[in-house]
Amino acid sequence: MAAAQGRLQSFISVSPDSDFPIQNLPYSIFSTDEDNTRRVCSAIGDYVVDLRYLAEAGFFKECLPHAVALFSESTLNPFMAEGKIVWLTVRERLTQLLNKNNPELRDSKQHHLLTFIPMDKVKLHMPIAIGDYTDFYSSIDHARNVGTMFRDRDNPLLPNYLHIPVGYHGRASTVVVTDTPIKRPHGQILPKDADNPIFSATKRLDFELEMAFVIGIGNQLGEPITIDNAYDYIFGLTLMNDWSARDMQKWEYVPLGPFLSKSFATTISPWIVPLLALEPFKVKPMTQNPKPLDYLQFKDDYSFDITLQAHLATQDMQQADVICTTNFKNLYWTMAQQLAHHTVNGCEVSTGDLMASGTISGSTTDSYGSLLELSWNGEKPLQLSSDETRTFLQDGDTLTLTGYCQGDGYRIGFGQARGKIVI
């Protein structure tokens, strides 16, 4: 299947290192100065593909009669709620239309101007309406690092970690799309050696390199999603930065976990890459020992080989430094296990719900997915190419997350999740 994917080519020129070849076809919501109506798009190379226009021009009328209505929506939710058959139908039709060997759209020059809009001429918006947001804690290397720093070097994992995908409910209202400025949050902090907290801006602002999956179709209250069909409910994946105020977190997280230290902002990429695009990049998940309980066991479970990077630029830098390179396959708990566990008690999930991986760290120091780990809680400042150092983020810093699957002559990318720290 991967070889067949690699042979696909679009009549639109696409660089080998572009995030958006014909093998990808992600989805987002966009508008332009000429038409500020938000509508559904895909991407090919350096262009946004206006799916509403293609539907109005009749290119989907045979396979999806209500395509105009779906692609005129201001979020992807109505499209995602259609389910897997419609997702596959749209993907197959769009692949067919963009194929270099198909003259249907290729030779219809009058349609090109309104179908393909340069990326620098559009505004991308929050692609989904998020009802609920859950953040898991699924990277065992990250959990070990944090446990070593703050709990017990000899026993860094809590007893439940190897048995359940640990998670907590985040704040959906503060999930923002890339390039939204991130205001340094205020809250309670307990200074070193102090008995009482103070109210202050965080002095330990951090990023967390994560990915999140988006629920396409939901379940009914009281009806768990079984691990065997969990992937039928997942529409796609996006990049996520779960910004964190570490000093606030340290004071507030006992006994109920993070609160204000996480709820002030979470950045995602505007692009949702469909699960269907990632099929060629399946890999076996981490070996789990001990074996989890039966409801979390899935003989055909998998992860994905997705290279992930964090880029940091200070105000004095012309070009960002790559400060972390890790991989999605470093997760101990898979998406199917996360979703099965989330709903095993009958919890209802809905179209557009966001389920995040938690910080993704690898086993080497350059693969740690947070400054908390990269600077080892501030003890080892991170040296930058500008001769500056960082333990945590400073005002004016810009943190960008990127990710891609590398194919033969093409890559499947996720755009960028980027935010600049402001006062």
Which residues are part of the catalytic machinery?
142
CA-wise closest residue to 246 among 221, 273, 220, 264:
264
What are the distances in angstroms from CA 355 to CA 229, 249, 337?
17, 21, 12
Q: For residues 66 and 47, give the distance between their C-alpha atoms in angstroms, rounded to a whole number.
A: 24
Distance CA 423, CA 138 (A): 32
Contact at 8 Å (CB) between 136 and 341?
no
Q: What CA–CA distance (Å, rounded) separates 124 from 30?
A: 4
**127 near 272, Cβ under 8 Å?**
yes
For residue 128, how many other CB atoms are within 10 A of its CB? 26
Structure tokens at 255: 């006994």
Q: Given the structure tokens 């997705």, which residue do they identify?
A: 306
Q: Checking phi first, is residue 197 left (phi over 0); if not, alpha (psi -120 to 50) or beta?
A: beta
CA-CA-CA-CA dihedral for 297, 301, 306, 309, to nearest 10:
-10
CB atoms within 10 A of CB 240: 26
Residue with tokens 């699960």: 275
Question: Cα angle at 253 between 245 and 246, to 5 degrees?
Answer: 20
Q: Which residue has the tokens 């996006």?
A: 238
Q: Cβ(423)–Cβ(399) under 8 Å?
A: no
Are 371 and 202 contacting, i.e. CB atoms less than 8 angstroms apart? no
Residue 245 burial (CB count, 10 A): 27
Task: Please return the burial class of 144, using the count of CB atoms within 10 Å of its CB with bins 0-12, 13-18 and 19+.
Answer: middle
First to last CA, the chain: 49
DSSP annotation of 100: T
